Amino acid sequence: MSVRRLVIGVAVAASLAIAPASARQAATASKLAVPYTMFKLPNGLTVILHEDHSVPTVAVNVWYHVGSAREKPGRTGFAHLFEHVLFEGSKHVKEGEFDTLLEAAGGSNNGSTTTDRTNYYETVPSNALDLALFLESDRMGYLLDVVTPKLVDGQRDVVKNERRQSYENAPYGMANLRMTELMYPKDHPYHWPVIGYMDDLTAATHEDVTEFFKRYYAPGNASLVIAGDFNTPEARKKVEYWFSDVKAGAPVPPLTVPPVELSGVIKETLTDRVQLPRLYLSWLTPALFAPGDGELDLVASVLTGGKNSRLYKRLVYDMQLAQNVSANQGSARYGSRFTIVVTARPSEDPPEKILERIKTVVDEEIEKLKSAAPDAREVDRAKNSFESGFLGQMEVVAAKADQLNAYYFATGNPDYFATDLARYQKIGAADVQAAARRWLPADKRLELTVLPAGKGSGK
Amino acid sequence: MMGLGSGVPGFRGSAVRRFGIALSLVLALAAAPAAQQAPDRSKPPVPGPAPLLRVPPIQKRTLSNGLPVWIVEMHEVPVVDVTLIVKSGAAADPAGKYGLANFTAAMLDEGAGTRNSLDLADAIDFLGASLTTGSSWDSSTVQLHTPVAKLDAALPLWADVVLRPTFPQNELERLRKERLTTILQTRDSAPALASTAFARLVYGPRHRYGTPGMGNEVSNTEMQVSELKDFYSSNYQPQNAYLLVVGDITPAGLLPKLEQALGSWKNAGPIARPALPAATQHGARQLYLVDKPGAAQSAIRLGWIGVARSTSDYFVLDVMNTILGGSFTSRLNQNLREEHGYTYGASSVFDMRGAPGPFFASANVQTDKTVESLREFFKELDGMRQPVPGDELRRARNLEALSFPGAFETTSGMAGNLSELAVYGLPESFFSEYVPKIQAVTVADVERAAKQYLQTDKFAVVVVGDLSKIEKPIRDANFGSVKVVTLDEILK
């Protein structure tokens, strides 16, 4: 789950889960080379530079290696709250100036938070690289000089309205928040929602917030990618100049996350002010890049990618029981979730009964995949669409910059594009079948249903 | 964990990480005076001269049947975008048949040539290509996006969809159910209801802009195959179309393929274009409330009939709206989000179409701040009639002018820009003139435009929210006449 600072602005496909690719063509792999220069500053900041002169812009992309998983129960939502606070100015940047200076230079910015990391990024005309680096370095080095309780309160109100808009007042929004609570134990770092709880946001003290920043926002816990229309030696000098006075922080110890497994079927029913019932099935699955992760991307595609995918064809096209169906391997650093979502069509039958019928069909299709390997064409079709997705990502400098940071954070190698592609290349039909068998057990999963308020029977 | 990449001088391995960091710090401090001056943070660095935008040329050609082909070469990534633009969209829907253009476009890839819906989708998906059909107010499109290596295989499929759609009855019935369900789901979302309500209440049920592009429950229930076929044959003609190709191709290599794919397409007769009735503004401000019990936020839309895409005030309105609600630092967002925290974001837009489209400001605000939010909306809208400070104007002009290159980064972005030229008959010089014309907008221009286009005393104001909590406070605030409207009045 990714929570963004604002709804307007540059959209960057940040999630590895939705942008993987596959190719059997060496030609594509060669186009996926993203040459870079990487170095580390004395204060610990990792810097990755990639030149791309196709348009006269530069993407500056900072990942702080902290997400909601670093929070503590009772004090949730901090990583995301900081994603807002970091745009409110720092010692040498007056409140509001972060945005006004960038806009005056023709730049745009945004940020987003997941369980594992927070990213901050600007896209600026190539003449404004110094400005972007000044702003990024100042908030890395001098944020706490200006963070007051009043400033935090202001952004706390905005975040509460983000929560209302994206979850509480959005159809089915609360189901998305509920799933991780039901699937991870209370002390597991993926238990609470990235956006946090209203009560925690209210209760957070100024000391809590500043302590969190001191611990996790030092240069040694961050990586900076610059991609676009610049000259590498010059950009390196600019980075060394602007970040030279940012002080190193204490090393951040690795997060130890105990393995987690479901012991049975968890069932829950929510009601929401919606017209149509919806079924969510979700399993705990291997972490990003762990064995099984790529295979489950292909399982998702075989089940719901395109009109001929198995679940779409049966539920939406043939039986017309469902309005839509999706499956997704939501890859994350310490463990993933594979989730199938089906929204029912209007029906005379009670919603519970419709969802039972839908669930039966989903289970039949999963069982079929477990008992026989998919056709080669099904798997190839899925791989081809991943490959094209990869090419699309190459078109957008800001997307490339974010992916360089993502790969660096996950593997230590920013230019992991071709290797990532090869991961899918190696997967055969039998591997897809094996992944479905191993990771989608019918007796260990979440079954969450959402029923329209006032329309359920016997509620 | 931190592997050494190629060419990474000074990058340290992980084995001695803590020690490594400490050591390098010492070295850095020792070397600091000579090697690295401390950054001057006393004032923000001022960007040098802005880079020049190099918009690649549009290479204009014509197929033997008269179909104009516009080609832009972009060779960075091996992909290509092939888009047929038909200059008929929802605005061409006959009265009582709202949604016809949209439904027709949706049916094009549900069976074409010798392939049925599933076979067509399988063939496209297998290539890793995507084929999208759709319609807007003023155009319909059939867009192919494909790895250039697959173009030869994908082009005949795309041509089938453009030239030989079969409109199967069973697929129409399937899509009908899907569309009726989508329309039903409008009721779930306060922002979606607010947008639908605003259009209906500003334009009324008899103007095309008063009903969503996809039509409503009644029109979608009644739509027949014969009507879709008629719309297709009378609007999808070479004389009513443009072909836009952007990507890793050259005209010499491409044109024979296009000629082969589309050369046989012939004109079938004159294009009928129903004239949109002139829409009239409200005589006085009117508030409309729509109940959404239990809503945690109120969805607000306020505005009136704005301008057509052909307006001579295009650049002035671009800059004015950037100041008002078209950017993060805009007055509406700064006030309602940053200053007051009532919302996650507030914005405004001139939706420019073939005929004057709506102008509206919008936000989703927490329920208990609905009246306060409305007050701030009016304050900012009315405040635009005062002269805009010079630095605020410069910032807005720069944002629009200097971020313009971003619109040309991808093949689909470029195709979108070309499409606007084609649909609205704009000169190619629009691209080269954009930056100077934006930079020429003055304080007086903005003031005049605000007085002309932001007359809040004639605005329609739509609020969708929990009326048990917001109706009385809104009435008591005396913003104007208040009317409660039902969902049926909006959606039927």
Q: Write out B138-187 in H/E/C secondary structure.
A: CCEEEEEEEEHHHHHHHHHHHHHHHHCECCCHHHHHHHHHHHHHHHHHHH
pLDDT at A14 over 80: no
Closest CA to B209 of B304, B110, B123, B300: B304
Question: What's the pLDDT tens digit per position in A165-219?
Answer: 888 888 999 999 999 999 999 999 999 999 999 899 888 888 888 899 999 999 9
Alpha-carbon gap, residue A418 to B483, rounded angstroms = 60
Both tokens of residue A336? 């993933």
Q: CB neighbours (10 Å) of residue B122?
A: 18
Q: Do the chains contact at A394 and B76, CB–CB below 8 Å?
A: yes
Return the H-helix or E-strand segment holding B235.
helix B225-235
Chain B touched by A376 (CB under 8 Å): no
Q: Closest approach of chain B CAs to the CA of A337, in angstroms?
A: 24
Q: Closest approach of chain B CAs to the CA of A206, in angstroms?
A: 18
Alpha-carbon gap, residue B342 to B333, rounded angstroms = 10
| Mutation for testing the A interface, residue in B184, B342, B402, B410 having most A CBs under 10 Å | B402
- Residue B217 carries which side chain, given as an amino acid letter? E
Q: Do the chains contact at B293 and A273, CB–CB below 8 Å?
A: yes
pLDDT at A153 over 80: yes
pLDDT value, residue A5: 54
- B356-366 per-residue burial string, b: 16 or more CB within 10 A, e: under 16: bbbbbbbbbbb
Chain B touched by A255 (CB under 8 Å): no
Calculate mean pLDDT across residues A434-439. 98
Alpha-carbon gap, residue A80 to A58, rounded angstroms = 25
Alpha-carbon gap, residue B258 to B158, rounded angstroms = 11
Q: Do domains A34-243 and A265-452 have the same CATH topology?
A: yes
Closest chain B residue to A166, measured at CA:
B344
Q: Do the chains contact at B147 and A387, CB–CB below 8 Å?
A: yes
- CATH code linked to domain A265-452: 3.30.830.10
- A12-39 per-residue burial string, b: 16 or more CB within 10 A, e: under 16: bebbbbebbbbbeeeebbebbebebbbb
Q: Do the chains contact at B395 and A306, CB–CB below 8 Å?
A: no
Superfamily classification of domain B286-425+432-491: Metalloenzyme, LuxS/M16 peptidase-like (3.30.830.10)
Q: For residue A417, list chain B residues with Cβ-Cβ distance below 8 A.
A: none
Q: Closest approach of chain B CAs to the CA of A443, in angstroms?
A: 32
Residues 314-353 of A with CB under 8 A from B: 316-317, 320, 323, 345-346
- Average pLDDT value over all residues in chain A: 90
pLDDT value, residue B29: 38
Q: CB neighbours (10 Å) of residue B427?
A: 9
Distances (CA, A) of B406 to A206, A392, B71, B245, B399: 39, 15, 19, 19, 11
* pTM, rounded to two decimals: 0.91
Strand B115-116, strand A46-51: pairing: unpaired
Residues 46-65 of A with CB under 8 A from B: 46, 52, 54-57
DSSP code of residue B353: B
Q: Do the chains contact at A25 and B149, CB–CB below 8 Å?
A: yes
Chain B touched by A414 (CB under 8 Å): yes
- Both ends of chain A: CA-CA distance in Å? 31
Residues 197-236 of A with CB under 8 A from B: 220, 229
Q: Do the chains contact at A240 and B126, CB–CB below 8 Å?
A: no
The runs of H, that is alpha helices, within B280-426 are: 314-324, 331-333, 370-383, 390-402, 411-424
Q: Do the chains contact at B121 and A92, CB–CB below 8 Å?
A: no
Strand A222-228, strand A57-64: pairing: antiparallel
Q: Do the chains contact at B395 and A103, CB–CB below 8 Å?
A: yes
Alpha-carbon gap, residue A52 to B289, rounded angstroms = 51
More confident residue, A161 or B480: B480
Calculate mean pLDDT across residues A117-143. 96
Q: Do the chains contact at B409 and A391, CB–CB below 8 Å?
A: no
Strand A57-64, strand A265-272: pairing: unpaired
Of A125, A166, A245, the CB nearest to B402: A125
| Mutation for testing the A interface, residue in B25, B125, B179, B189 having most A CBs under 10 Å | B125
Closest chain A residue to B24, measured at CA:
A42
pLDDT value, residue A238: 98
Of A43, A56, A101, the CB nearest to B53: A56
Closest CA to A143 of A246, A64, A251, A253: A246
Does domain A34-243 sit in CATH 1.20.1300.10?
Answer: no
The three state secondary structure string of chain A is CCEECCCCCCCCCCCHHHCCCCCCCHHHHHHCCCCCEEEECCCCCEEEEEECCCCCEEEEEEEECCCHHHCECCECCHHHHHHHHCCCCECCECCCHHHHHHHHCCCEEEEEECCCCEEEEEEEEHHHHHHHHHHHHHHHHHCCCCCCHHHHHHHHHHHHHHHHHHHHCCCCHHHHHHHHHHHCCCCCCCCCCCCCCHHHHHHCCHHHHHHHHHHHCCHHHEEEEEEECCCHHHHHHHHHHHHCCCCCCCCCCCCCCCCCCCCCEEEEEEEECCCCCEEEEEEEECCCCCCCHHHHHHHHHHHHCCCCCHHHHHHHHHCCCEEEEEEEEECCCCCEEEEEEEEECCCCCCHHHHHHHHHHHHHHHHHHHHHCCCCHHHHHHHHHHHHHHHHHHHCCHHHHHHHHHHHHHHHCCCCCHHHHHHHHHCCCHHHHHHHHHHHCCCCCEEEEEEEECCCCCCC
Q: Closest approach of chain B CAs to the CA of A172, in angstroms?
A: 9
Alpha-carbon gap, residue B130 to B452, rounded angstroms = 44
- Residue B78 carries which side chain, given as an amino acid letter? P
Are B221 and B491 a contacting pair, CB within 8 Å?
no
Q: CB neighbours (10 Å) of residue B431?
A: 18
Q: What are phi and psi of A351, to 5 degrees?
A: -55, -40
Closest CA to B233 of B173, B134, B166: B166
Chain B touched by A9 (CB under 8 Å): yes
Q: Closest approach of chain A CAs to the CA of B22, in angstroms?
A: 8
Chain B touched by A291 (CB under 8 Å): no
pLDDT at A10 over 60: no
Q: Do the chains contact at A31 and B122, CB–CB below 8 Å?
A: no
Q: Do the chains contact at A157 and B341, CB–CB below 8 Å?
A: yes
Closest CA to B409 of A142, A11, A232: A11
Question: What's the pLDDT tens digit per position in A94-103?
Answer: 999 999 999 9
Strand B79-86, strand B241-247: pairing: antiparallel
| Mutation for testing the A interface, residue in B24, B25, B37, B41 having most A CBs under 10 Å | B41
Positive or negative torsion for Cα B179, B184, B189, B192: positive
Q: Do the chains contact at B409 and A7, CB–CB below 8 Å?
A: no
Q: Closest approach of chain A CAs to the CA of B1, in angstroms?
A: 6
Alpha-carbon gap, residue B114 to B160, rounded angstroms = 9
Alpha-carbon gap, residue B26 to B35, rounded angstroms = 13
- Among 3.40.50.80, 3.40.50.970, 3.30.830.10, 2.60.40.10, name the CATH number for the domain at B59-262: 3.30.830.10
Chain B touched by A134 (CB under 8 Å): yes
Alpha-carbon gap, residue B68 to B176, rounded angstroms = 34
Chain A and chain B share a number of CB contacts under 8 A equal to 280
| Mutation for testing the B interface, residue in A10, A110, A164, A343 having most B CBs under 10 Å | A164
Q: For residue B177, list chain A residues with Cβ-Cβ distance below 8 A.
A: 320, 345
Bin A289: left if φ > 0, else alpha if -120 < ψ < 50, else beta: left
More confident residue, A30 or A360: A360
Residues 93-132 of A with CB under 8 A from B: 93, 96-97, 99-101, 103-109, 123, 125-128, 130-131
Residue A357 CB contacts under 8 Å (≥ 6 apart), including other chains: A321
Chain B touched by A444 (CB under 8 Å): no
Q: Do the chains contact at A57 and B295, CB–CB below 8 Å?
A: no
pLDDT value, residue A33: 86
Which strand ranges, in their side-by-side order, compose the sheet holding A265-272? A265-272, A445-452, A278-285, A336-344, A322-330
Calculate mean pLDDT across residues A151-167. 88
Positive or negative torsion for Cα B182, B184, B188, B192: positive
Of B21, B341, B344, the CB nearest to A154: B341
Question: What's the pLDDT tens digit per position in A325-335?
Answer: 999 999 999 99
Walking along chain B (492 residues) 10 residues at a time, the average pLDDT comes out as 26 25 34 67 93 87 97 94 97 95 98 98 96 97 96 98 98 98 94 97 96 96 98 97 97 96 94 86 96 94 97 98 96 95 96 97 97 98 98 96 88 94 94 94 98 98 98 97 95 88
Closest chain A residue to B52, measured at CA:
A56
Q: What are phi and psi of B156, to 5 degrees?
A: -60, -35
Are A193 and A163 a contacting pair, CB within 8 Å?
no
Are B454 and B385 a contacting pair, CB within 8 Å?
yes
pLDDT range class, residue A25, cuts 50, 70, 90: very low
Domain coordinates in residue numbering, chain A: 34-243, 265-452
DSSP code of residue B308: B
pLDDT value, residue B55: 82
Residue B288, strand partner residues: B462, B483
Chain B touched by A154 (CB under 8 Å): yes
Alpha-carbon gap, residue A248 to A244, rounded angstroms = 10
Bin A188: left if φ > 0, else alpha if -120 < ψ < 50, else beta: beta
Closest CA to A305 of B79, B122, B179, B181: B122
Both tokens of residue B169? 């009855």
Return the H-helix or E-strand segment holding B365.
strand B358-366
Q: Closest approach of chain B CAs to the CA of A447, in angstroms?
A: 23
Residue B376 CB contacts under 8 Å (≥ 6 apart), including other chains: B335, B336, B340, B342
Alpha-carbon gap, residue A175 to A168, rounded angstroms = 10
Chain B touched by A38 (CB under 8 Å): yes
pLDDT value, residue A394: 87
Alpha-carbon gap, residue B491 to B473, rounded angstroms = 26
Task: Give span(s): CATH 3.30.830.10, chain B.
Answer: 59-262, 286-425+432-491
DSSP code of residue B44: P
Q: How many CA atoms lie within 13 A of A1 on its CB side?
A: 24
Both tokens of residue A256? 């130890």
Are A86 and A213 a contacting pair, CB within 8 Å?
no
- Both ends of chain B: CA-CA distance in Å? 60
pLDDT value, residue A354: 97
Residue with tokens 């400098």: A397
Residue with tokens 């230590």: A412
Strand A118-125, strand A57-64: pairing: antiparallel
Both tokens of residue A288? 């990003």
